[in-house]
Amino acid sequence: MISSAPTTIAANLFDLPQKVRAFIGASMSAAAGGLTVAGFAELTIALLRVVIHTADSLPAGNAEKKAWCVQAVADLFDATADGCVPLPLKPVWWALRSTIRSLVLLAAGGAVESLLPLVRMASQ
C-alpha cells in the first residue's frame, strides 16, 4: 500500500496543517518513481481519512471542516497528480489539468460525506 507510510507519518502529529504537509511530503517521496491513478486515489482516500479524523475533533462548523478536507486534497493533487501522467500525454494533461482537478475536488467533497461515518466508527 502506497498510503501506509504517509498515514503513519501524519498520525504522529497533532496539528492539522502539519499532518497535511507531512502526509503530502511522504506521498511525494513514495510516488517519486511515478504514480498510478489507483495509487493517487488510494493516497486521496487515506489523506481524507486523516483529515476527517483530525477535523472531527476540532471546534468548527461542518462546512469549514469539509473545506479543510477539500483543500487538503487540492494540495495533494497539486503536489502529486502530475506524476500519474506519462510523458507522451503531458500536452493533453496540461490542457485538461484544471478540469480534472475540479472533478477530483468535487469527488473529494462528496467522499467526505460518506467517509465521515466510517472514520468515526473506526476511531471508537
What does the domain layout of the chain look like in residue ranges?
A: 4-122
Contact 76, 47 (CB under 8 A): yes
Task: State yes or no: pLDDT of 98 exceeds 90.
Answer: yes
pLDDT at 102: 97
Q: Quote the CA–CA distance of 80 and 84 in Å, as a whole number.
A: 8
Q: Quote the CA–CA distance of 16 and 51 in Å, as a whole number.
A: 7
Q: Quote the CA–CA distance of 14 and 64 in Å, as a whole number.
A: 18
Task: State yes or no: pLDDT of 124 exceeds 70.
Answer: no
Mean pLDDT of 38-59: 90
Q: What is the pLDDT of residues 3-33, one digit of tens each?
A: 777 788 887 777 889 999 999 999 998 888 8
Task: Say what the pTM is.
Answer: 0.87
Q: What is the pLDDT of residues 105-120, one digit of tens each?
A: 999 999 988 887 777 7
